[in-house]
Amino acid sequence: MSTPESKTNIIKEYIKYKAGAIAAIITCNLVMLSVFILYDLDVAPFFYALLINAIILIVFIIISFVKFYNSHKIRKKILESALNEGLELAEAEYLADKDYHEIISLLNSRCNELSNRLNSDIQDSNDYYTIWVHQIKTPISVLSMLLKDDTAKDRQCRDELFKIEQYVDMVLNYLRLGSETNDLVLKEQDLDKLIKGSIRKYAALFINRKLSISYEPVNIKLVTDEKWFSFILEQLLSNAVKYTMTGGITIKAVPGEVSITDTGIGIAPEDVPRIFEKGYTGFNGRSGRKSSGLGLYLCSLAAKKLSLELSVDSEPGVGSTFRIKYVPDNASQIFND
């Protein structure tokens, strides 16, 4: 049922639609009245005829408006069917409606064709990049095995190779997050185990860059997906290492929250509200030319899948604190989302 406001709008639209006919009727009556006056004729019959015509005209306007209103409802129904279930066109009564139906059907057919072609191209692209990611991991593993010496050059090469592997994994995760398939495996996880696993993965970088890592083990359980929660932790650790030249990183875990604090260069206040946007690098990313603007964006997508909340507090020159917030008893919330 339409609201009064929407009916008022429809009446206005009807008046605009019939404005030409209304103007023509008024003009004709004014011309006839002028003729009566110029020839000094009795205008009483004219006004009597005008009254009868006005009554007939009102009846026709009401009938016309009802048809106009019903046509509007049919068009709205067609729009809703096109958006929800598929295009369903009602039987056309007039030639103009039939023409519009033909145009709509043709455009709908063309739209479906383009949509299918686009989906096919996207699937082909995803398949290609997925294969590429798995193939590129082989030479990365071989290079990692070859760089066994503990020389400064080899350590630097291993660091760069580790970054390459992280970027490759980021491509794969980007494809997975953009996919309509749901690969979540939700079960109770040991938060301490997840955090320690992420720390071990970045241990070589901490050592090579002479950064300290502080973490007190905890006994906390939460329901989440191990892979995606670890992905968020690792991305936040990666950012912390990337932008921390001296000092170290502190990880704290309490029920409902994990925080990662660094002593890095910090984030400019104007950049903080936008750091989770796709492709946004901020001043630090642009000045150093090291950021793709995808890492934190992917974190936000993964957090949304897991019903987590990401936030950050930062001060330029002092450091940043990223927080992963979750509802301690979060199983039902994740499954409902």
**What structural domains and CATH numbers belong to the chain?**
4-90 (no CATH), 182-336 (3.30.565.10)
Residue 265 neighbours by CB distance under 10 Å: 20
pTM of the model: 0.62
Q: Place 231 in a pLDDT band, splitting at 50, 70 and 90.
A: very high
Q: Place 309 in a pLDDT band, splitting at 50, 70 and 90.
A: very high
| CB distance 137 to 168 below 8 Å | yes
Q: What single DSSP character describes residue 274?
A: G
Q: What is the pLDDT of residue 77?
A: 77
pLDDT digits (tens, 9 = 90+) for 242-256: 889 899 999 999 999
Phi, psi (deg, nearest 5) at residue 149:
-70, 155
Alpha helices in the chain (DSSP H): 4-17, 19-38, 44-84, 95-146, 152-178, 191-201, 203-208, 226-242, 282-288, 295-305, 331-336
pLDDT digits (tens, 9 = 90+) for 60-87: 989 988 888 888 887 787 777 766 666 6
| CB distance 262 to 243 below 8 Å | yes
In this predicted structure, which of 49-53, 82-86, 294-298, 333-337 has the lowest mean pLDDT?
A: 333-337
| CB distance 224 to 306 below 8 Å | yes
What's the whole-number mean pLDDT along residues 165-177? 80
